[in-house]
Amino acid sequence: MQHERTGSVPVVRKPYDMDTLGAPFKVILHSGVEFGVDKQTGEETVKIPDTIGLINAVVRARVCHKRKLNGSELKFIRKALGVKAKIIAEFLDMTAEHFSRCESGQKVMSAQAEKLFRMAAFSSSFLKNPEDMFNRNIAATDMPMPTNVTKKAVDSAIDLVKSFITMKIEAFHSPSEKLVFHFWRRKGPECVADDEDNWSDRAAA
Maximal CA-CA distance, the chain: 56
* pLDDT number for residue 145: 58
15: preceding bond cis by omega (within 30 degrees):
yes
Report the distance separating Cα 122 and Cα 184, nearest Å. 19
pLDDT band at 197 (very low <50, low <70, confident <90, very high): low
pTM: 0.73
Which overall architecture, per CATH, does domain 67-178 show?
Orthogonal Bundle (1.10)
* pLDDT number for residue 22: 92
Percent of the chain with pLDDT over 70: 76
Pinpoint the residues of the chain covered by CATH 1.10.260. 67-178
On the question of pLDDT at 7 being above 50, the answer is no
Q: What is the pLDDT of residues 12-44, one digit of tens each?
A: 457 889 988 999 999 999 888 888 888 899 898
* pLDDT number for residue 70: 96
Q: What is the pLDDT of residues 85-124, one digit of tens each?
A: 999 999 999 999 999 999 999 999 999 999 999 999 998 8
Report the distance separating Cα 175 and Cα 70, nearest Å. 11
User: Which H helix or E strand runs over 85?
Assistant: helix 85-91
